[in-house]
Amino acid sequence: MANLTDLLKSFPGAQCRTLAKNKNTSEMLLAALSAHPDRHIRRLVATNQSTSIEVLKILMRDQEIIVRKGVAISQNVTIDMLDELARDHDIVQAGVASNPNTTSEMFTLLSDSESLSVLMAIGKNPNAPGEILRNLISSNGIVREAVASNPKCPPDILSLLSREQDYEVQQQVFQNERTPIVALLNFMNDEDWRLNNAFLESLIKQNPAYMLYVEMVEKATINDYRDEISLDLEVKSQLTEG
């Protein structure tokens, strides 16, 4: 192995990086590359799905933070390893927070972090518990944006975020397929409805039945819809059936 490691050191860096990130590279070659002096090559080895647990256990002790983060985001990493990495530098913690194998207990631990990168990674993770996501919406705007983009975000949280005045958060709420149509209508005024083409496009993409609202908005304002309860109920029932 030592001879192979020394041989790889003589290879051009670009060639070693290609080997390190290729999922078809053998475990033996990846093990040799894990000792390469270039930290970026070691990071690529850490994130490679073909890297063995034994090599990951070595790399999680690497002196370079980006290498340890590479281990933290690896889907091959064990729960015990994730648990230890969750107590590492916040850059590494952000990797743990984004890992699909992270447990509820780890999310709880990481949610106390003061690092926005960690909180954003939790917010975007589809496996983050709803209660954790609910607590995050009282945080910074970019963290709320991350929560709003979560494909598994509970509808009640999206309803709360629909009242957000931050444009970036609004956009994520618009695009999230789990956002209730009633929540969108509650905070959209007529001017927003007419001018925000991105909102209309994302709405129609979610469900073609939403086109019914787009057609009606040309004839009346949102306030008209709220006033005409019978029309409102009729449209909602058609959207629910769609």
What is the pLDDT, as a whole number, of residue 228?
A: 44
Which helix (H) or strand (E) is 32 found in, with range?
helix 27-33
C-alpha to C-alpha distance for 58 and 67, rounded to whole angstroms:
10
- DSSP single-letter state for residue 159: H
Q: Radius of gyration over alpha carbons of the chain, in Å? A: 24
Model confidence over 107-146: pLDDT tens digits?
999 999 999 999 999 999 999 999 999 999 998 899 999 9
Confidence label for 207 from pLDDT (cuts 50, 70 and 90): low
Confidence label for 14 from pLDDT (cuts 50, 70 and 90): confident
- Give, in order, the Cα–Cα distances in Å from 171 to each of 109, 128, 148, 187: 29, 21, 9, 13
What is the pLDDT, as a whole number, of residue 100?
A: 96
What is the pLDDT, as a whole number, of residue 58?
A: 97
Number of H helices, E strands in the chain: 20, 0
Listed range (25-29, 83-87, 184-188) with the worst mean pLDDT: 184-188
What is the pLDDT, as a whole number, of residue 86?
A: 97
Percentage of the chain beyond pLDDT 90 is: 58
Confidence label for 211 from pLDDT (cuts 50, 70 and 90): low
